[in-house]
């Protein structure tokens, strides 16, 4: 009886610890992302378009870098997944196309130029996270988003306590801009993306920054006009937003 009671006590102690960690994690996430709708895109596989349909739609909408090998791999993977599993096929294809490449020895990011920029909201290269973000978005413009003289200012960050603010400055079309972010450890402050979208829209062109999510931590950025965005949404079933 004593041994059984000990097992019960240990079980409830472990369960309590798990719930505390989960509550803390949930609180952290709510502070990072201010738009539940943006990330509320969970879909079981049965409700998603097939891998082949998605690949074709993306290619027809100018998203390159989606290989036949990756399509076949995802086709087999999705076929083996249990019904009801939450997994974004569209997100997986976009991540492959838009993640770019990192040189971990030199901490250098080289963005892809496949029509989409993909990044994880939890970023390993914390000291350059907004520099890399601007470079990733800039690559979408094919010269239209030529952000230059990018400088990230970390002087306002309290690294020990994980608080403070940080700034990233850049020049574009003859004007200097400064974006300010709340320091959130290795989490990306979505307000920077929103502020950049406002700056881009203020230039008066037909193209805008559009954002999408896989329902987890990955985000996708596009630089297109409204007609393209509407067509892309219909063809892929992936919701696009002009802000987080």
Alpha-carbon gap, residue 36 to 137, rounded angstroms = 23
- Integer angstrom CA distances of residue 177 from 84, 116, 120, 171, 200: 45, 23, 24, 6, 11
Residues paired with residue 165 on neighbouring β-strands, in sequence order:
182
Please report whether residue 241 resides in a domain.
Answer: no
What is the per-residue pLDDT for 244? 83
Give yes or no: residues 11 and 41 share one domain. no
Query: Where residue 33 falls among pLDDT bands split at 50, 70, 90?
Result: very low
Which structural domain range is residue 190 located in?
A: 35-236
Give yes or no: residues 2 and 68 share one domain. no
The pTM (predicted TM-score) of the whole model is 0.81
Alpha-carbon gap, residue 51 to 239, rounded angstroms = 17
What is the per-residue pLDDT for 184? 92
Residue 109 has pLDDT above 80, yes or no: yes
Give yes or no: residues 85 and 157 share one domain. yes
Q: Across the chain, what does the average pLDDT equal?
A: 84
Give yes or no: residues 115 and 28 share one domain. no
Contact, 135 vs 109, CB < 8 A?
yes
Residue 80 has pLDDT above 50, yes or no: yes
What is the per-residue pLDDT for 42? 57
């Amino acid at each position: 009886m004593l041994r059984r009671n000990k097992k019960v006590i240990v079980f409830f102690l472990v369960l309590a610890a798990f719930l505390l960690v989960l509550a803390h994690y949930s609180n952290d996430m709510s502070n990072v992302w201010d738009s539940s709708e943006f990330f509320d895109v969970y879909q079981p596989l049965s409700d998603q378009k097939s891998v082949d349909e998605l690949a074709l739609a993306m290619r027809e909408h100018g998203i390159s870098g989606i290989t036949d090998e990756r399509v076949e791999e995802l086709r087999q993977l999705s076929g083996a997944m249990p019904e009801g599993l939450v997994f974004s096929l569209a997100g997986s294809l976009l991540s492959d196309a838009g993640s770019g490449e990192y040189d971990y020895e030199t901490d250098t990011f080289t963005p892809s130029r496949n029509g989409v920029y993909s990044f994880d909201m939890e970023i390993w290269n914390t000291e350059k996270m907004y520099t890399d973000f601007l470079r990733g978005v800039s690559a979408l413009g094919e010269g239209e988003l030529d952000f230059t003289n990018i400088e990230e200012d970390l002087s306002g960050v309290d690294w020990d306590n994980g608080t403070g603010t940080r700034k990233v400055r850049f020049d574009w079309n003859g004007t200097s801009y400064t974006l300010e972010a709340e320091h959130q450890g290795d989490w990306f402050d979505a307000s920077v993306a929103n502020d950049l979208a406002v700056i881009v829209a203020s230039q008066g062109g037909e193209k805008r920054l559009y954002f999408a999510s896989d329902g987890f931590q990955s985000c996708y950025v596009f630089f297109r006009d409204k007609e393209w965005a509407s067509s892309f949404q219909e063809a892929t079933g992936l919701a696009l937003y002009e802000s987080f």
